[in-house]
Amino acid sequence: MNNPDTSDERGDPTVVLEDGVAKTNDPVSSAVARPGATTRRHEPGEPPRMQIPEKLYEKRKAVHNKRIDGPFRRFKWFVMFVTLAIYYVTPWIRWDRGPFAPDQAVLVDLANRRFYMFGIEIWPHEFYFVAGLLIMAGIGLFLVTSAVGRAWCGYACPQTVWTDLFQHIDRFVDGDRNARARLDKAPWGPKKIARRGFKWSIYLAISLATGGAWILYFADAPTLFFDFFTGQAAPVAYITVGILTLTTFTLGGFMREQVCIYMCPWPRIQTAMLDEKSLIVTYKDWRGEPRGSLKKSLKDPEHFGDCIDCNQCVAVCPTGIDIREGPQIGCITCALCIDACDRVMKDIGRPRGLIDYATLEACREEAQGHPAQPAWKALLRPRTLVYLAVWVGIGAGLLFALGTRTHTDLTVSPDRNPPFMLMSDGSIRNSYTLKLRNMESRPREMVVAIEGLPGGKMWTDTIGADEAAPTQSFNVPADQIRTVRAYVVAPKDATSREFTFRLTSQDEQRETDTVETRFDAPAGGS
C-alpha cells in the first residue's frame, strides 16, 4: 500500500486518499472524491481521519435581472398593478347592506361565521359555494397550464408579484444590473450600509403593509386600522401581521426564485402536466445554433445561427436561468426573454421569434421547413377545451345555485328522551327545537305551521299553552338564527306518524322551507 496522501488532485486537504480510495468514518459523497475513485468506510484499528464535508445545498447566486421594455413586460406591469391594487384596496371598499349588516364589501366575519362579497352572503351551511370556488381555482390553474404553460407563476402568483415589486425597489435604490452586481461585491462601508438600510426599510414597509392589509379582510377595516395603531387591537392581529411581515420580507426580499425552485410544489405539478403540444416559452435552437458573435456571424453567415450569444435573455430573467438550455423548472414563463431577444433581433436586422411562445411539436415542424404555426392554434386542443368546459360548467352551476337559493331556512330537532309525554287530559305532547334562519339583512316576520297532524297544536316557551294553535308567528332578527323551543300536542287518540313543519316568510318574497319529522305516541294510541 502506498503512503497515505492527505489531499486529492484538487488540493482539498480534508480528503484522505490511499491508492485512489477516499477514506472516512462516515459515508462520503462521490462529489468530493476524485473522479473514478471508489470509497470505503474506515477500517477497525486504523487511525481516525478527518471527515469529508458533503455539499448538500448549493449556495445561492444573487440574480440581478436587467430592466427591459416590451409587450410582455408591460403586461407584467399591468398584472402587478391590478393584483396589488385589488389586495390593498379591496378591504376599504364599502357596500351598503342596510342597517343590520356590515358595510364592508369583502369581509370574512369569523365571529358571526359569515362571508360577505359585495351582494353575496355565504353562511356556514353554504360552504359548498366556497368549495366550488376552490375547485374552479384548481381547474383554472390546470386550464392556464394546459393553454400557456406556467403563466400563472410568471404573472399572477403572489410570490412572483411581490418579488417583481422588490426587484424594482432594488433597481430604484441600487441602480440597474451592473450597479447592483458591483455593490454586492463591494466591501461593507458607510455607503453600502446606507443603501442596504434604506432598501431594507422599504422592504419592511411593504411587508408591513402586506400583513396589515390581510387582517383588514377579517374585521371592519377603518375600525381595525385605528385600533391597530392605537394598541387596542386583539393580540392575534399583531401576531398575524408580524408573521406575514416576516414571511413577505424574507421570501420576497431575499429568497425569491428559491421559493419557486425549491419550496413550491406547483412547478412540479405543472411540469408533469406539460407535453409537446403545450404552449411554452421556447428557444428555437434549429435557428439560433451554432451561436457566434455578431462580428463572426457577419463574416461567415453560413456557419452561424441567429443567436449572437449576447446573453440578454439571461440578463433579464428574474430567476437567472438560460432559456437556451431548454425547458427547466426555473422558468416561470414570464416571457421577458422574448422581449429581450426580439429587441436584439430588431437591432441586428433579423426576424423576431428566436425565443417565442411555441410548442415543441411546432418547433420540430418548423425546423423541417414547414410554415410556422400560429400560437393561438395550440390553445384549441381537446385537453384545453375539456378543462374550459368543466370550469365553465362548475361556474354555471354555482351561479344557478346562487340565483335560486332562498334566504329562509328551517331545521327541526325532536326530543328523544322522553319521546312523548301524556298530559292530564290524555292528549299527547312532543317537544322540538326549531331553528329559524333569516338570511336577509333585515328583520322578518315568519310563520311556522303544522301540517299532516290532525288536531295538532303548538306553543312555545314564550307563547303559553292557552294560546296553542296550528300556526305561530315569530320575529327573526336580521342575519340571525332564532332558536325556538316548540311543544306540539295532539288528541289522545293520535298515533305515531310523520308530519311537517312549514316555515313561511311574511314579506313580498313569501319564501318557504319545510322539514318532515315524526310525532311519537303510545302504541295503539291512548
**Distances from the Cα of 510 to the Cαs of 208, 406, 436, 446, in angstroms?**
49, 10, 15, 9
Residue 449 to residue 457: CA distance in whole angstroms: 9
What residues contact residue 183 under an 8 Å CB cut-off, 6+ apart? 174, 175, 192, 195
Residue 369 to residue 364: CA distance in whole angstroms: 9
Q: Where do the H-state alpha helices sit in 175-288?
A: 177-185, 190-215, 221-229, 235-250, 257-258, 266-273, 285-288
User: Among all chains, which residue has been given the C-alpha cell 416590451?
Assistant: 70
Residue 383 within a domain: no
Q: What share of the chain is helix, strand, coil (3-state, %, to 5)?
A: 45, 20, 40
Q: What is the reported pLDDT for 405?
A: 87
Residue 116 corresponds to which amino acid? Answer: Y
* Last residue in a domain, options 374, 398, 426: 374
**Distances from the Cα of 122 to the Cαs of 113, 320, 371, 411, 509, in angstroms?**
9, 44, 53, 18, 19
**Pair 330, 341: CB distance under 8 Å:** no
Predicted TM-score (pTM) of the model is 0.79
Q: Which three cell numbers stand for residue 217?
A: 379582510
Q: What is the reported pLDDT for 374?
A: 79
Residue 400 within a domain: no
The pair phi, psi for residue 87, each rounded to 5°, is -65, -45
Q: Which three cell numbers stand for residue 339?
A: 422581449
Q: What is the reported pLDDT for 17?
A: 47
User: Among all chains, which residue has been given the C-alpha cell 411593504?
Assistant: 206
The pair phi, psi for residue 500, each rounded to 5°, is -130, 135
Q: Which three cell numbers stand for residue 414?
A: 325532536
Q: Which of 201, 192, 137, 211 is nearest to 169 (CA)?
A: 201
Domain that holds residue 497: 408-519
What residues contact residue 488 under an 8 Å CB cut-off, 6+ apart? 429, 430, 431, 432, 450, 453, 456, 457, 458, 519
* Last residue in a domain, options 270, 302, 329: 270
**Is the same domain home to 47 and 135?**
no
Torsion-angle region of residue 113: left (phi > 0), alpha (psi -120 to 50) or beta? left
Q: What is the reported pLDDT for 42?
A: 52
Residue 86 within a domain: yes
Residue 362, SS3? helix
**Is the same domain home to 29 and 90?**
no
**Is the same domain home to 247 and 279?**
no
**Is the same domain home to 429 and 468?**
yes
**Is the same domain home to 187 and 308?**
no
Residue 433 within a domain: yes
Quote the DSSP letter at residue 245: H
Residue 236 within a domain: yes
Q: Which of 512, 524, 423 is nearest to 468 (CA)?
A: 423
Q: What is the CATH number of the domain that holds 416?
A: 2.60.40.10
Residue 433 to residue 486: CA distance in whole angstroms: 6
**Is the same domain home to 130 and 241?**
yes
Residue 281 to residue 154: CA distance in whole angstroms: 11
Q: Which of 147, 153, 151, 134 is nearest to 388 (CA)?
A: 147
CA 366 to chain centroid, in Å, comes to: 37
Residue 338 to residue 72: CA distance in whole angstroms: 8
**Is the same domain home to 20 and 97?**
no
Q: What is the reported pLDDT for 8?
A: 42
**Is the same domain home to 479 and 458?**
yes
Residue 180 to residue 65: CA distance in whole angstroms: 9
**Is the same domain home to 154 and 296?**
no
**Is the same domain home to 309 and 448?**
no
* Last residue in a domain, options 270, 303, 338: 270
Q: How many domains does the chain have?
A: 4
pLDDT by residue for the chain (526 residues), tens only, comes to 444 444 444 444 444 544 444 444 444 444 444 444 444 555 566 666 556 566 666 778 889 999 999 999 999 999 999 999 999 999 999 998 888 889 999 999 988 888 999 988 898 888 889 999 999 999 999 999 988 888 999 999 999 999 999 999 999 999 999 999 999 999 999 999 999 999 999 999 999 999 999 999 999 999 999 999 999 999 999 999 999 999 999 999 999 999 998 899 988 888 888 888 888 999 999 898 888 888 888 888 888 889 999 999 999 999 999 999 988 888 999 999 999 999 999 999 999 999 999 888 888 888 888 887 777 788 888 899 999 999 999 999 999 998 888 889 999 999 888 889 999 888 999 999 999 999 988 899 999 999 999 999 999 988 988 889 999 999 999 888 999 999 999 998 888 999 999 999 998 888 999 999 999 998 754 4
Degrees (nearest 5) of the Cα angle 486, 487, 492? 160
**Is the same domain home to 187 and 314?**
no
Degrees (nearest 5) of the Cα angle 248, 139, 154? 40
**Is the same domain home to 43 and 185?**
no
- Residues 314, 319, 320, 321: what is their CA dihedral angle, to the nearest 10 degrees? -70
